Chains A and B, each alone.
Chain A
Amino acid sequence: MILSLAMGTVSQSFGILTDPAVLVAIFLGVVIGIIFGAIPGFSATMTIILFTPVTIPFDASVALIFLVSAYGGAVYAGSIPAILINTPGAPGSVVTCWDGYEFTKAGRATYALAASAMASGVAGIIAAAILLLVGPALAEFALNFGPVELFLLAVFALTIIPAAKGQSLLKGLLGGGFGLLIATIGSDPQLAQPRAILGLPLLRSGVSFVVVLIGLFVFTEALFLATQKKIIDTDVNVTDDQRQVSEGIQAVIDRPIEFIRGTFIGAFIGSLPGAGADVANFISYNEAKRWASDPSKFGTGIIEGIIAADSSNNATQGGALIPTLTIGIPGSGSTAALLSAFAIHGLNPGPGLFQRSGVLVYALIFSLFLGNALILVFGLKGARHFGRLSRIPIKYIVPVVIVLAVIGAFAVRNAHLDVLIMVLFGLIGIILVATDYPLVSVVIGVIVGGFAEEGFVQGWIINQSDPIRFLTTSDIAIVLLLLIAFSLGVTLIRD
């Protein structure tokens, strides 16, 4: 019975994928993702946030599949400027520069680009398979989560970010606490009393996390881009050498251990709340270096460096979608942006999503296979053309990004106050980045704040205000407590 239901859901999902509008959405999503990802400073998160308002008139399946495809394309394309001009397109491609640019200097950019496309595309497909295997099982398990477990899950998400990001525990907790506090602004869920609305009626419905997200990830980034030096000072000549493309493909096939290790590191790190491609990239590269016969060659232009970096990079996409879809906690800044798109299109990620909207969720997962196959094709055939986008001067990008951020914030509730809040968070973002706080802690604090409060209040009442009963309400709660203690302990020891 359950199996036939599941098969029915899967076949309906395939039905969605055969819709020409969805196929166009995947194609356009990947192309737009690659175009924007190839522009230095334009991250996958920014791409998703800025294109979310444009998807509003479309059906949820078309809109979300478009955004997920753009996400994959943008993550991959960050490596193109990293290889061609030694400037990462996104934080997740920093490591790709180290070996990638050496190939460009040696006249073998096409070889490096082909290996990067091969590693990214295939790793993305493997990570999608991992999501397909793990996601439904975890979603089923998440149905056992009661209010206390959801509250503890929110706490765990906040405590693991500093551990995963390698940043200060105290700063991470301060950012997370600030985010949770921002989420309490508005009418309280019990008595509907206005909390900290400062006389502004709009704030009765709270501070939208989409607005916070736009401020922290788009406006902050735009101001940082404005302070950048001119990036492009060399004109790279990339040849259309098919022999180098074949060698690039073969290089990945010949190094299965580096590739598989990078893919699994990417999928695992991606699945941790707050840790995205930027963290996975470094860990995968370091592991490849640690196990190499001659570690000193890393950074001098060896293909193992690119394979380790780029396989982990795109594998984070499937990994990050696991907690996002199953428990409603984003695995990265990009999936936090996707979460806002889900909310705008009336879906509520978290426990029960696979049951409520299984057809769409499976279609979304299957679209990852198609999207990553397209990344492979575009990467192998056209990376050098997309590379030209790396030469677009930043001065032409910054003004329009700011206007899009303003429109995006306004469009959430058609309110000018949201635009002001967005700018305010943009300024806070600058301070946070300058003083090495994990931005994602604040965002996740705002995102999980709603269900953390609901879980805490319900659990507290159910357990008759007894903290011991509250914390030991179930085996899952105890395991979550241990995980919180473990992540705090690991970060404290490291600090």
Chain B
Amino acid sequence: MRRVSVGSYTIKINTVEIIFPLLVLIFCTIYYIDTRGLPSRSMLYANPILYMTAFFAIAVIALFSIQIDSTRDEYDNATSSMAGFSNDENNRVMRAIWILLLTMVYLVAIRIQFASATAVFLGSVLYVLGEEDWRILTGYSIVLTSILYAVFVFWLNIPL
């Protein structure tokens, strides 16, 4: 929760709640810019959906993400959810962030070579999740990559 003071008012912004409606508003803006030159028949259905979605996003921000208090409160107990994380929770969130980063790298790597990228990715994620025995890491990566390659590339002919 972030606070902004304006005169005798305090505006509290829920930084987690605001993310999705804000993303939707950004998407609606891009959508509008991209489609504004199209004939009205092409947008007969899409335009009402666009404006309605933007309206819902603004309404969600107003009702769930922003709170205006007429008194200046110096401090209250409603702290941000991130700030309230314990060490263990922080570690677990960090694990997810690492996995997300590894996934991004994996998406680039599979364009070069699926099998080796998959083997490295499987081992890396398993390591991030706490497995440190190199024999398990190696075995897990090789066995699963072989199975996935056999099923999806050889059998199903997916051009990975």
Contact = CB atoms under 8 A, between A and B. Distances in A.
Nearest to B131: A395
Interface stretch (A251-259, A284-292, A353-361, A427-435): A427-435
B38, B43, B88, B129: which has the most chain A beta carbons within 10 Å?
Answer: B129
Nearest to A449: B49
A198 interface: yes
B78 interface: no
A435 B17 contact: yes
B151 interface: yes
A180 B3 CA distance: 34
B30, B42, B63, B95: which has the most chain A beta carbons within 10 Å?
Answer: B42
A184 B46 CA distance: 6
Contact of A54 (B30, B118, B151, B159): B151
A223 B50 CA distance: 30
A423 B56 contact: no
Interface in B145-160: 148, 151-152, 155-156, 158-160
Contacts of B42: 188, 190-191, 193, 195
Interface size class of B (residues with CB under 8 A): 35 or more
Interface size class of A (residues with CB under 8 A): 35 or more
Could you tell me the dominant secondary structure of chain A's interface residues? Answer: helix
B136 to A, nearest CB: 9
B10 to A, nearest CB: 22
A107 interface: no
A11 interface: no
Contacts of B135: none
A195 B31 CA distance: 8
A56 interface: yes
Nearest to B57: A174
Interface string A417-456: 0011001000110011011010000000000000011001
Interface of A: 53-54, 56-57, 168, 170-171, 173-174, 177-178, 180-181, 184, 188, 190-191, 193, 195-198, 222-224, 226-229, 394-396, 398-400, 402-404, 406-407, 410-411, 414, 416, 419-420, 423, 427-428, 431-432, 434-435, 437, 452-453, 456-457, 460
